[in-house]
Amino acid sequence: MSDFVMPSLGADMESGKLAQWLVKPGSTVRKGDVIAVVETHKGAFEIDVFLEGVVSELCAKEGEELPVGALLARIATAGEEAAAPASPPAAPPPPVAAPAASPSPPTSTLLAERGAKAPAGPVPAPAKGPPVPAGERKKVSPAARRRARELGIDAETLAGTGIDGSVTLADVELAGAGRGKRETPAAGPAATEPKRRAGFDPDQMRRAIAAAMSRSKREIPHYYIGTTVDMAKARGFIEAYNSERPPEQRLLPAVLLLKATALALRDMPQFNGFWEDGRFRPGDGIHIGWAIALRGGGLIAPALRGVDRRSLAELMDALRDLVGRARGGGIRGSEMMEPTFTVTSMGDRGAESVFGVIYPPQVAILGFGRAVERPWVVDGRVVARPLVTASLAADHRASDGHAGSLFLAAVDRYLQEPEAL
Amino acid sequence: MNDAEIRRLACDLLAGIAPDTDPASLAGGADIREALDIDSIDFLNFVIALGKATGRTIPEADYARLFTMDGIAAYLRD
């Protein structure tokens, strides 16, 4: 029997509200299945499981606010009898014993969560969740579910346009708008009502960011270094690549930045992992947290998994999916727990450089500014080139500026050979 | 599609991408990326949706013509 506990979805999370169960006692679950929706200060997240088995008991009630590590459900893992009372726990119980007790410090709960999930092996890629077998509950993103409730619509009856066929917030809004038009043909108040984005409370989001970033600045001795990267080759590569493809297959510069970062992390693994209990623990794989600004304020940085091993086309699909779900409210809990490193990119309208604040317990964050056309010297001649400032903020306990410089140089080198990415 | 239909389509698609905004209230010459605060992924999704709705494949080289409502209307009328 394994305990399924309230996961820690980041250093800033102390507790979460179990918003909804998507399984019942007796339900069979597989790795990667979403079995619950948990609401935190950063919005609603779909919580997936890391093991296979049968749900034997739901211990937490919908609507209950529980600390990280609190018991949510018991799952009889494969090979066990669901009813066998004497079987020893398959995973060590988390140190946070009493669910009613005050939340324990984030680091230890994060460790407990990672420790508990480690033996279960890798979860499948987020975008490729197992298909929902016929007869089972239709996939509905948490934000869509919430908005549907507000509008009095049954979300499960809608056609889903999400990447995996799930019903998204947009589907619900569309259904709501259509219905509103039918009921109020003369464009009544329903049509002019401002649309409210479901998913998170901006004030709570602000507090969550404040807690994590204060902890970072209090605990982590940051050092900052930067370098200028000539993006002419990367841009030329993307233009040629995109000119032969329809819009849905086109790449954005962001995926080249991501892949180059991942390959540099593979060369220099001391930047890919966590500072815990006074020492560095390398990440298991290169899972890059991508900072996504949310409409209405705030940001989250869910993981793109195994970035070093994926093609540019795969990364582009994964990135579009991730950003869409981040804004629509369909991010999974595992995606919030996994990042081993974070990248923050200002995009094509942002500032020219950014010096990030490390997301604890990670040990570094890489920032990319907006690409700008500037004079640049190539072979002794001044030419106009698109330039990007890449800045590294890193934990001085885990590395020094010399290693950081080598890391930035590696990122630059990979971006000069875009066809090899 | 006539001018009004194109603008209505563009507004509907943009409202789906930036649900907290009112694209219909934009000035015809305003840069939609600035006015609606949409990033490059949002804009790419807009181009994909616009292409699907009109049956046209929009080359990347033409993106700059789609930055304003007036530009979108003129481009899709051509």
B48 with A248: Cβ contact below 8 A: yes
ipTM of the prediction:
0.89
CB A89 within 8 A of CB A1: yes
Q: What is the CATH number of domain A127-199?
A: 4.10.320.10
* CATH number for B24: 1.10.1200.10
Q: What pLDDT score does B77 carry?
A: 85
Closest alpha carbon within chain B to A174: B16
pLDDT digits (tens, 9 = 90+) for A293-324: 988 888 899 999 999 999 999 999 999 999 98
Instruction: Give how many domains chain B has, as a whole number.
Output: 1
Interaxial angle between packed helices A312-328 and B40-54, expressed in degrees from 0 to 180 and rounded to the nearest 10: 100
Active site (annotated) includes residue A222: no
For A215-361, strand residue ranges (E) read 222-230, 273-276, 279-282, 288-290, 292-293, 299-300, 303-304, 341-345
pLDDT digits (tens, 9 = 90+) for A88-107: 444 444 333 333 333 333 33
Chain A interface residues (partner B, CB cutoff 8 A):
169-170, 173-174, 194-197, 239, 242-243, 246-248, 250, 252-254, 293, 295-296, 319-320, 323-324, 347-349
Give the torsion through C-alpha atoms of A263, A7, A277, A116, to 10 deg: -90
Chain B interface residues (partner A, CB cutoff 8 A):
15-16, 18-20, 33-34, 37, 39-41, 44-45, 47-48, 51, 57-61
Q: What pLDDT score does A166 carry?
A: 62
The residue whose two tokens read 């869910």 is: A302
Task: Give the span between the Cα atoms of A151 and A145, in whole angstroms.
Answer: 10
Q: What pLDDT score does A98 carry?
A: 36
Average per-residue pLDDT in chain A?
Answer: 79
Q: Which residues of B touch A242 (CB under 8 A)?
A: 60
Closest alpha carbon within chain A to B50: A247
Q: What domain range is B8 assigned to?
A: 3-77
pLDDT surpassing 80 at residue A17: yes
What are the counts of helices (DSSP H) followed by strands (DSSP E) for chain B?
A: 4, 0
CATH 3.30.559.10 boundaries in chain A:
202-420
Let me know if A126 is exposed, middle or buried by CB neighbors in 10 A (0-12, 13-18, 19+).
Answer: buried
Dihedral sign from CA coordinates of A99, A103, A104, A107: positive
CA distance A58 to chain B (A): 36
Structure tokens at A396: 């001085």
Task: Give the span between the Cα atoms of A157 and A179, in whole angstroms.
Answer: 14
CB A141 within 8 A of CB A300: no
pLDDT digits (tens, 9 = 90+) for A364-376: 999 999 999 999 9
What does the DSSP assignment read for A75-134?
A: EEETTS-TT-SSPPPSSPPPS---TTSPPPPHHHHHHHHHHHHGGG-PPPPGGGPPPPPT
In sequence order, what are the residues at sequence separation of 6 or more whose Cβ sits closer than 8 angstroms to the Cβ of residue B8?
none
Radius of gyration of chain A (CA): 23
Tell me B24's DSSP state.
G
Radius of gyration of chain B (CA): 11
Q: What is the CATH number of domain A202-420?
A: 3.30.559.10
CA distance B2 to chain A (A): 22
Q: What pLDDT score does A175 carry?
A: 64
pLDDT average, residue stretch A354-383? 96
CB A341 within 8 A of CB A286: yes
pLDDT average, residue stretch A213-229? 96
CA distance A263 to chain B (A): 23
CATH 4.10.320.10 boundaries in chain A:
127-199
A86 pLDDT tier (thresholds 50, 70, 90)? very low
Assess if CATH 1.10.10.10 describes domain A2-123. Answer: no
Query: Which bin fits A228, alpha (ψ -120 to 50), beta or left (φ > 0)?
Result: beta
